[in-house]
């Protein structure tokens, strides 16, 4: 099993199921491993969600922007599972307006489309030039306090943005969903999250598929007899990230979740950490307004 990178290091995580829940600082829990729905075409979304839950995923990452929430809702209506076992997320897009009325309208549109409660609702982008994200956050707090959302979080927020939320409202997001993969490991932000009890959730965790051919990833994967995607998902989980790979291919969707039977060694984790190159495949937080 040990690769040349593994070198006999202690496999701290061996036999530990990494697909279990993470604890949120508001007392609720969230599965560490879920699947994402960005760019899942509406005519495939219903079947992807049914297949994902059937494969054992319990976290579904969606957003109004993905334009497939009605199909996700249809799938959730079909799935024969205790709803309390699922974590359904969505995000406020806010490109047109960020006023309270716009937040409420978007949230209600998502609720209607999904036909079920949103467990975790996030601000999709801080859009810092507009300077309204603290007010948007206040509206999310209001919705949470009214019992309409279980937990509230953010996405694409920097330390500076989160610090402002905390200083001005006293409410810490439960999660910050950010671009994170072996080529963009976000070490500083992860440390900041740790200090504040915020879960780091990795978007584009496979680098949109573009990290899968990396030679180090391939070597580690081969040593464990798994796919590069499985090795990367396992790396995320061992870092303590929540992770939401996307696939419209049922076999890949299933195998991306099948990561409890192997563990990266300390040396393999160290080899992954050397892959950092500050490379983004998506938009940066300050860029999108
Ligand atoms: N908050 C935010 O701003 C953002 C959030 N997200 C969230 O993160 C999720 C995942 O990010 P995403 O950008 O989709 O990128 P991912 O890193 O998850 O990569 C998805 C790509 O990898 C391919 N892929 C998946 N599994 C495998 C596999 N086992 N072998 C080979 N190829 C594979 C997919 O193709 P195929 O489907 O054909 O399998 C797709 O092309 C999104 O769906 C969304 O929920 C994403 C971007 C921004
Ligand atoms: O980052 C990009 O350039 C994208 O297209 C996506 O990340 C998109 O903006 C998004 O937010 C998906 O969740």
**2 or 128, which is more confident?**
128
In a domain, 221, yes or no: no
Protein residues whose CB sits closer than 6 Å to any atom of ligand 2: 38, 63, 65, 124, 282-283
Pinpoint the alpha helices (H) of the chain.
Answer: 42-54, 69-78, 100-114, 133-145, 159-169, 187-196, 215-224, 228-239, 250-257, 266-273
In ligand 1, the atom with minimum distance to the C-alpha of 206 is 17
In a domain, 277, yes or no: no
Q: What is the pLDDT of residues 114-131, one digit of tens each?
A: 999 999 999 999 999 999
In a domain, 288, yes or no: no
Q: What is the pLDDT of residue 146?
A: 97
Contact of 154 with 126, CB cutoff 8 Å: yes
- For residue 284, the CA-to-ligand 2 centroid distance in Å is 9
Paired tokens of 150 = 């279980």
In a domain, 276, yes or no: no
Q: Residue 133 catalytic?
A: no
CA end-to-end distance (rounded Å), the chain: 47
The yes-or-no verdict on residue 279 having pLDDT over 80 is yes
What CATH number should be reported for the domain holding residue 155? 3.20.20.100
In a domain, 10, yes or no: no
Say what the pTM is: 0.95
Pinpoint the alpha helices (H) of 170-249.
Answer: 187-196, 215-224, 228-239
Rg (the chain; Cα; Å): 18
In ligand 1, the atom with minimum distance to the C-alpha of 252 is 29
In a domain, 152, yes or no: yes
Q: What is the pLDDT of residue 17?
A: 62
Q: How many domains does the chain have?
A: 1
- ipTM for this prediction: 0.98
Q: What is the pLDDT of residues 156-199, one digit of tens each?
A: 999 999 999 999 999 999 999 999 999 999 999 999 999 999 99
Domain around 112: 21-206+235-248
């Amino acid at each position: 099993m040990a690769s040349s990178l593994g070198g006999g290091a202690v496999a701290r995580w061996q036999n530990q199921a990494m697909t279990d829940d993470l604890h949120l600082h508001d007392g609720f829990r969230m599965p560490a491993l879920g699947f994402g729905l960005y760019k899942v075409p509406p005519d495939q979304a219903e079947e992807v969600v049914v297949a994902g839950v059937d494969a054992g995923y319990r976290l579904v990452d969606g957003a109004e922007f993905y334009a497939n929430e009605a199909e996700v809702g249809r799938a959730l209506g079909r799935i024969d599972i205790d709803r309390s076992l699922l974590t359904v997320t969505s995000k406020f897009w806010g490109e047109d307006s960020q006023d309270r009325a716009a937040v409420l309208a978007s949230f209600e549109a998502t609720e209607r489309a999904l036909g079920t409660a949103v467990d975790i609702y996030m601000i999709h982008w801080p859009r810092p030039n507009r300077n309204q994200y603290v007010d948007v956050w206040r509206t999310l707090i209001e919705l949470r306090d009214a019992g309409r959302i279980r937990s509230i979080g953010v996405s694409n927020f920097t330390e500076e943005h989160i610090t402002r939320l905390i200083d001005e409202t006293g409410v810490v997001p439960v999660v910050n969903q950010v671009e994170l993969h072996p080529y963009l490991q976000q070490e500083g932000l992860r440390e900041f999250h740790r200090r504040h009890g915020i879960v780091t959730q990795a978007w584009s965790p496979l680098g949109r598929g573009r990290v899968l051919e990396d030679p180090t990833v391939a070597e580690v994967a081969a040593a464990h007899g798994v796919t590069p995607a499985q090795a990367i998902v396992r790396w995320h989980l061992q870092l303590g990230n929540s992770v939401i790979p996307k696939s419209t291919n049922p076999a890949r969707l299933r195998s991306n979740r099948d990561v409890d039977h192997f563990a990266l060694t300390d040396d393999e984790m160290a080899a992954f950490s050397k892959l950092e190159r500050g490379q983004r495949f998506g938009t940066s937080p300050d860029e999108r307004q």
